[in-house]
Structure 1
Amino acid sequence: MNDFLVSSSAAVKTSFHGYQRVHVVLGSESCDLDSAVSTLAMAYFLSRTSSGLQGGSPVLPVLNIPRSDFHLRADVLLLLREAGVAMETLVFRDEVDLARLHGDRRLVLTLVDHNVLHEPPADLMTHFLFFSTDSDLEGAVVEVIDHHQLQRAASFACPVTIETVASCATLVTERILSRAPEILDRQLALLLYGAMVVDSVNLSPQVGKGTVKDSQMVRLLQTLFPDLPHGGALYSSLHSAKFDLSGLSTDQILLKDMKVVAGGDVRVSVSSVFMSLDSFLCRKNLQQDLRLFCLSRRLDAAVAMTISFNAQSDEPVRQLALYSSSSPYRQQISHALLNAHGPAPCLSPLSSPYKDILAYHQGNALASRRKLLPVLARFLSDWWHREVHCGADGEEELEDQLDQPDMMTSDLAEEHPPHVYSASRHHRRRLGAEDYGSVEEDYCGGMMPPAPVNSLVDGCPLDGGFNQEALLEKFSRMGGVEERGSGQ
């Protein structure tokens, strides 16, 4: 894989001179271990198979953060170094102008570890002259592989693979093993294995994050590459690196693992913070730091989901802090979180030393950020829908509903589903109005669009059972023809 990374990063330096198309694989804006590994592995797979572009056009993995923020991902750095990946061969979001490529009709985009494009981070908004919002790139998306809740509108031109597993790397591993097992070497296996071990908490049954498919992919890699490090030891080292916040400012701690959800002009960041809530609230000048953090990134609110571990049982303890300088925003976002379900976080209010920060204990440790992000997204979409279509009356109605403690956020979303104007326009432009029909009008009127083509609908290659013996036999035959490392 190293040769692939060298050649793809070299193409960036020439501004892709001589190429009519560039196939970019883009991970999520958190750029956590799963996102980074899935981006690199999926791009390598596309470059080595017929799934990639024809005619020698490059496939480019892009880590969706500025290079200057990468040092905050200590666990990602550790695993990449262990796998022998050179940092100078990586390409970051501030090093390639996706908007210009798209404007020149040269961009082909595959999304991994997220399934809808939002506004880019504020520190990238002015980096490129042609940058507007990431949603403008929707017309270039040709495939999605993700393990989060589906948020994108249906499109016949964009196959979507979404399955609720612990790690997106699990789905990428499945894709490689089912379609091109010959490209898998120890370097690639270590990256995928590390991401799955971390996201599934080493398949711990007590934590319950790992699924049958996560376990199946981990076991297969262990069988194919017996010299992979022990899962417990690898998880411990990567976990320690991820939780090491020594010397970091509040701004850096929030940026370390952050995602942003938006509805209209309202933007909310949700950061995983690897310390106890008490330690977070005791940080010096916390409220001032949060105010500056939101101002510099054009955020209306910031949510910190703290994660620590019980010293006696070693079980995760989740707590939450919600900051906004606007009392209405705090009230409305708090209402959405308190009434969330599927699963319910079971939030209990805690005392806070700051007037602009609300604090909560989370009774359900299984309600991770991945589960709460769709709640906020639905709420903000509904809020925007009411403002756009109802004006002041909609705001008054929403305020009335906030006064009703039994009003559930999901009820709001069901009565007024989010609109899909931008996505629909992009899809109609690609498919033609006659092909796409009146999905936008039907959807806004309450009718859901047709189900997307994805693994939840049509099944996946392994649903009928994975022939492990056949795969091992194929690897054995391959070993007699060429060395396993020749794919690099």
Structure 2
Amino acid sequence: MRLTSTPCTRLANSPLSLLTIMSYPRLTTEQMLRKDQKTISTHGTKVAISAIYMDLEAFLQRSGLTADLHAFCQAHNCDVLVTMTIFFNTQNEPVRQLAIFCPHAALRMTICGVLERSHSPSLKLTPAPSTHPHLQAYLQGNTQVSRKKLLPLLQEALSAYFDSMKIPSGQPETEGVSREQADKELDRAGNSLVPGLSQDEEEPPLPPTPMNSLVDECPLDQGLPKLSAEVIFEKCSQISLSQSTAASLSKK
């Protein structure tokens, strides 16, 4: 499947143009979502967060996207799929966008509500048009909020959702199931995974690095430094911001 010319045109003069074009050569939607993905889980509810380096508008125009998103969630046992799109506009300014896909209306509304009301950090979300059912799109005004900073907010949203599912005080218990039993079931489901992270987040240990006979220990014992596309984007964003500041000061 080929990408439309829209994202390539917008990225033509940006620091991430080569990265974006090389990252998605004829990739399927499922491959794009898995290329840079993290997951969190609470009480058995799993949220996948995928970073995609292109315009959200172009991504939402992909043929058969709704079916692809449903298939992705089913294949990877995800209840929610959060897509963070990142690119530079023609002025070399970073642009971030969000898309929340979740067939469960109550869960989707809870997550969107937490993200919209968040003040620490504030995402400064502006709803964007979308014709896809079960999907809420946003323009993220605060481009400094990366996926790393978004993860705690999503964890908070999951906690808020499960808190809202608990039976309020004074109301009758569900027939055949007490509140204590329901809480135990939720705790049992949550304890099956590492708190806050799904099992596929665990990385296998690196093999030991050969010792250097001239030093007490090898500097690579901790493994090679990790370099992801997200890190590259953050560095490019900082460089672009510093260049813009320097240019504005020189004009004064």
Q: Is the 8 A contact 1:262 1:381 kept in 2?
A: no
RMSD value over aligned CA atoms?
3.2
Distance change (3 Å), C-alpha of 1:386 and 1:359: closer
CA–CA distance in 2 between the matches of 1:281 and 1:240? 22
Q: Is the 8 A contact 2:95 2:143 kept in 1?
A: yes
Percent identity for Structure 1 against Structure 2: 34
Cα separation, 2, equivalents of 1:288 and 1:323:
12
Shift of 1:240: 3.0
2:61 to 282, 291, 295: 282
Relative contact order higher in (CA < 8 Å, ≥ 6 apart): 2
Within the candidate set 118, 142, 149, 1:371 is matched to 149
2:168 to 376, 393, 417: 393
Other structure's SS at 1:392 match:
coil
| Matching residue's letter, 2:56 | L
Deviations 1:273-302 (A, max 9, x none): 111011110111001100010111111111
2: CA distance between counterparts of 1:349 and 1:326? 19
2:71 corresponding residue in structure 1: 292
Q: Which runs of 5+ in 2 are unaligned?
A: 1-14, 172-186, 196-211, 222-252
TM-score by length of 2: 0.58
Task: Note closer, same or farther for the CA distance 1:343–1:239 as it changes in structure 2 (3 Å cut).
Answer: farther
Shift of 1:330: 1.7
Counterparts of 2:107 and 2:74 in 1: how far apart (Å)?
15
**8 Å contact kept, 2:20–2:54:** no
In structure 2, C-alpha distance between the alignment counterparts of 1:373 and 1:272, rounded to whole Å: 12
Assess if the C-alpha contact under 8 Å between 2:107 and 2:161 holds in 1: no
Shift of 1:309: 0.7
Name the one with the larger helix percent. Answer: 1
Question: 2:110–2:157: 8 Å Cα contact kept in structure 1?
Answer: no
When the two structures are aligned, how many residues end up with a matched partner? 167
Alpha-carbon distance in structure 2 between the residues aligned to 1:376 and 1:333? 7
Distance 1:250 1:296, change over 3 A: same
Question: Aligned equivalents of 1:276 and 1:324: distance in 2?
Answer: 20
Aligned to 2:118, the other structure's residue is in SS state coil
User: Structure 2 counterpart of 1:373, which letter?
Assistant: L
Partner of 2:104: 326
TM-score, reference length from structure 1: 0.31
Check the 8 A contact 1:263/1:383 in 2, yes or no.
no
Cα deviation for residue 422 of structure 1 reads: 4.7
Picking from 329, 338, 347, the partner of 2:125 is: 347
Cα offset for 1:350?
1.0
- Quote how far apart the aligned CAs of 1:384 are: 3.1
Q: Which amino acid aligns with 1:364?
A: N
Note the C-alpha offset of 1:348. 0.4
Residue of structure 2 aligned with 1:337, choices 115, 121, 124: 115
Q: Distance in 2 between matches of 1:349 and 1:338?
A: 9
Q: Which amino acid aligns with 1:392?
A: I
Matched, 1:360 2:135: no
